A and B are shown apart, each in its own frame.
Chain A
Amino acid sequence: EIVLTQSPATLSLSPGERATLSCRASQSVSIYLAWYQQKPGQAPRLLIYDASYRATGIPARFSGSGSGTDFTLTISSLEPEDFAVYYCQQRSNWPPLTFGGGTKVEIK
């Protein structure tokens, strides 16, 4: 099973600041990594798939990069609606499909 480790667990930032979230895989997942956003009481929403492709309707301030075992989700300038929990997920080697433990982006 591929284990995904996200860091940091919590990121405290102010609106307008840049957010950099990390996801590290226990073995190579090539580019087959996705990022999801989840707000309290809501279902997750797909942001990025295959490391760097934005999903339909996702603003350009969200970008993904990386390959192999190290991946980054960057939010270039935080908007108030971006404060949420973010999960990475791999589809390279499954079953099982696996998620990281999440990074909470909170208002500083």
Chain B
Amino acid sequence: EVQLLASGGALVQAGGSLRLSCAASGFTFTRTAMTWVRQAPGKGLEWVSLVSGSGDNTYYTDSVKGRFTISRDNSKNTLYLQMNSLRAEDTAIYYCAKDGNLGIFDFWGQGTLVSVS
């Protein structure tokens, strides 16, 4: 059974930093690209970042480039999102999701809430 457990969300002041984690199980993590998608309160879905299975290739939406870093530890089956210079507009639930085939998100974790004051 695929499981994705996101954690690390918190209330943080503008300009601060936070690291999100997503523990994965139930599939071959090392062969699977992973992504972060966020959802501001009462709003729609916004793709944030994607990392290849090896971790060698990373992609970001423009609004987080230079501030957020996606990474993974394949020995721990864990995905990360390091978020620096946080802004009020980064307030959202952050979901980690498994990539089924280059941009198809076939399984989602439960999300973790980031609030920036």
Interface residues, chain A, CB within 8 Å of chain B? 32, 34, 36, 38, 43-46, 49-50, 55-56, 87, 89, 91, 94-102
In the assembled complex, 16 residue pairs joining A and B whose CB atoms fall closer than 8 Å, in A order, are A34-B104, A34-B105, A36-B45, A44-B37, A44-B95, A44-B108, A50-B104, A89-B47, A89-B103, A89-B105, A91-B102, A91-B103, A94-B103, A97-B47, A99-B46, A102-B44
The A contact surface, by secondary structure, is loop
For the complex with contacts A43-B111, A44-B105, A96-B61, 20 further pairs of A-B residues with Cβ separation under 8 Å are A32-B103, A43-B110, A44-B37, A44-B95, A45-B108, A46-B100, A46-B105, A49-B104, A49-B106, A56-B106, A91-B103, A91-B104, A95-B50, A96-B62, A97-B35, A97-B50, A99-B44, A99-B46, A99-B47, A102-B44
A38 to B39, CA, bound (A): 11
Chain B 43-66: CB-based contact to A (< 8 A → 1; otherwise 0):
011110010000000011110000
**In the complex, how many residue pairs between chain A and chain B have their CB atoms under 8 Å apart?**
61
Residue of B nearest to A6 (CB): B44
B103→A97 contact, CB < 8 A: yes
A87 to B106, CA, bound (A): 14
Closest 7 CB pairs of A and B: A91-B103, A43-B108, A97-B47, A99-B45, A95-B59, A96-B61, A49-B104
Q: Count B-side interface residues using an 8 Å CB cutoff.
A: 24
Most buried by B among A32, A94, A96: A96
Residues in B with CB closer than 8 Å to A56 are 106
A49 to B109, CA, bound (A): 19
Residues in B with CB closer than 8 Å to A96 are 47, 61-62
A101→B104 contact, CB < 8 A: no
Q: In the complex, what's the smallest C-beta–C-beta distance from A52 to chain B, in angstroms?
A: 13
Residues in A with CB closer than 8 Å to B62 are 96
A36 to B102, CA, bound (A): 16
A43→B59 contact, CB < 8 A: no
